[in-house]
C-alpha cells in the first residue's frame, strides 16, 4: 500500500483548525450535494450560517433520516444549538430535525423557504470547483479525508480562523496550524 501523505496529515490539520475556528451564527442553512465516490453518488451534507460561514460537513453513503440526523448531531456537538435551520423540501432532513426536537426542551425552528437556502447552494459551488477536476474519488475513506481538507481550506479562505489581531495571508494561517 502506498503512503498517501494527505490521508495521514489532513485529519491533523482539521483537528488543529477546529481549535481555532470562529463561532458560527444561530441561523443555519443546510443542504446536501452529490459527490462521486467509486463510480457512485454519495452525499456531502453541509451547512452555512446566515453570514455564509461553514458550520460543518459530513460525507454519507445514503440520503436518509439516519444520515441527516447524524449530520445534525455532529454539527450541534461541535458548534452549539441553532435557533433556526433552513432546509430544502427534503423529507429526510425534516424528519431528522423533528426527531431531534422531540428530545429537546427548546425546539429548533425548521424553515422550508424556497430561496433562503441559496446561500448554501452557492457555497457548494466552491467545493465542487475543486472536486470536479479530480473526476471523483476511488475510496470512501479517502474521499471523506480529502473533502475535510478541502472544507478546512475553504473555511480558512472565508476568514473563519481566529486571528490574534494580526493580518495574515491564507498561507500564513494554514502554516500556523502546523506550528
Residues 160/151/132/33 CA torsion (nearest 10 deg): -100
Q: What is the pLDDT of residue 171?
A: 87
Instruction: Kindly report the average pLDDT of the chain as a whole number.
Output: 90
- The answer to whether residue 73 scores a pLDDT higher than 60 is yes
DSSP H helices, 61-159, are 65-79, 91-102, 118-131, 140-157
* C-alpha to C-alpha distance for 118 and 95, rounded to whole angstroms: 21
Note whether 137 and 38 are within 8 A (CB): yes
* C-alpha to C-alpha distance for 123 and 120, rounded to whole angstroms: 5
Q: What is the pLDDT of residue 136?
A: 81
* C-alpha to C-alpha distance for 49 and 170, rounded to whole angstroms: 21
Q: What is the pLDDT of residue 2?
A: 53
Tell me the average pLDDT across 115-133: 89
| Count of positions (residues) in the chain | 179
Q: What is the pLDDT of residue 154?
A: 94
Note whether 72 and 56 are within 8 A (CB): no
What percentage of the chain has pLDDT greater than the value 70? 97
- DSSP annotation of 134 reads G
Domains, the chain, with CATH or none? 18-178 (3.30.420.10)
Amino acid at each position: 500500500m502506498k503512503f498517501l501523505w494527505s490521508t495521514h496529515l489532513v485529519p491533523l490539520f482539521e483537528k488543529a483548525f477546529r481549535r481555532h475556528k470562529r463561532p458560527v451564527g444561530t441561523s443555519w442553512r443546510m443542504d446536501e450535494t452529490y459527490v462521486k465516490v467509486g463510480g457512485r453518488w454519495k452525499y456531502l451534507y453541509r451547512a452555512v450560517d446566515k453570514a455564509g460561514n461553514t458550520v460543518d460537513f459530513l460525507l454519507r453513503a445514503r440520503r436518509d433520516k439516519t444520515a441527516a440526523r447524524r449530520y445534525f448531531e455532529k454539527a450541534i456537538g461541535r458548534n452549539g444549538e441553532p435557533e433556526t435551520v433552513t432546509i430544502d423540501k427534503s423529507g429526510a432532513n425534516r424528519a431528522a430535525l423533528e426527531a431531534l426536537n422531540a428530545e429537546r426542551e427548546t425546539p429548533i425552528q425548521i424553515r422550508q423557504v424556497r430561496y433562503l437556502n441559496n446561500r448554501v447552494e452557492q457555497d457548494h459551488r466552491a467545493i465542487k470547483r475543486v472536486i470536479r477536476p479530480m473526476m471523483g474519488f476511488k475510496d470512501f475513506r479517502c474521499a471523506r479525508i480529502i473533502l475535510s481538507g478541502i472544507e478546512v481550506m475553504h473555511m480558512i479562505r472565508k476568514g473563519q480562523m481566529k486571528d490574534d489581531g494580526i493580518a495574515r495571508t491564507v498561507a500564513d494561517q494554514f502554516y500556523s496550524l502546523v506550528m
